[in-house]
């Protein structure tokens, strides 16, 4: 007969489990405790291409950053370069600006459940305009960007 035990938990608190196993009056070893194995997957932000960092977005393109978190009563916070984006309260973010984006998920009680960040970079506008007849080739554009930046 399965026995199920539950208790309210406080986020961030360390808990210990103590089990007492008893045997019936016979000499047979016929008692056991089985604890189901589980794993909490880490939060990983990805862009619309499935990359966890993307410094090679073509200028003018829109990037959707996905947390993979299901919308819920939890609180979602987005930051760009360490600055809170107060109007961004969903599990995903759409942007056209480069930066380091950070996502945090909190319980309604204010306990942080998860955090991750992603780097989004865009090719230089001037360079993109000069090469506007070519399709965006991120690696080539990044190489040219580095050459131009070093000369400036």
Whether the Cβ atoms of residue 65 and residue 129 lie closer than 8 Å to each other: no
Whether the Cβ atoms of residue 137 and residue 57 lie closer than 8 Å to each other: no
Cα dihedral 88→138→61→59 (10° resolution) = 100
pTM of the full structure: 0.63
Q: What pLDDT, on the 0 to 100 scale, is given for residue 142?
A: 56
> Average pLDDT for consecutive 10-residue bins of the chain (152 residues)?
72 75 70 66 82 77 91 94 96 92 92 90 64 54 54 45
């Amino acid at each position: 007969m399965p026995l199920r035990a539950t208790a309210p938990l406080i986020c961030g608190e360390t808990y210990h489990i103590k089990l007492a196993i008893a045997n019936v009056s016979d000499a047979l070893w016929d008692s056991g405790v089985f604890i189901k194995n589980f794993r909490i997957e880490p939060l990983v932000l990805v862009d619309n291409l499935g990359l966890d960092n993307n410094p090679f977005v073509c200028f003018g393109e829109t990037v959707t950053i996905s947390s993979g978190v299901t919308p819920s009563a939890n609180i979602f916070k987005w930051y760009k370069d360490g600055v809170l984006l107060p109007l961004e309260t969903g599990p995903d973010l759409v942007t056209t600006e480069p930066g380091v984006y950070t996502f945090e998920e909190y319980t309604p009680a204010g306990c942080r459940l998860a955090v991750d960040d992603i780097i989004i970079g865009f090719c230089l506008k001037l360079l993109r305009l000069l090469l506007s007849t070519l399709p965006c080739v991120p690696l080539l554009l990044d190489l040219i960007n580095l050459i131009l930046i070093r000369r400036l």
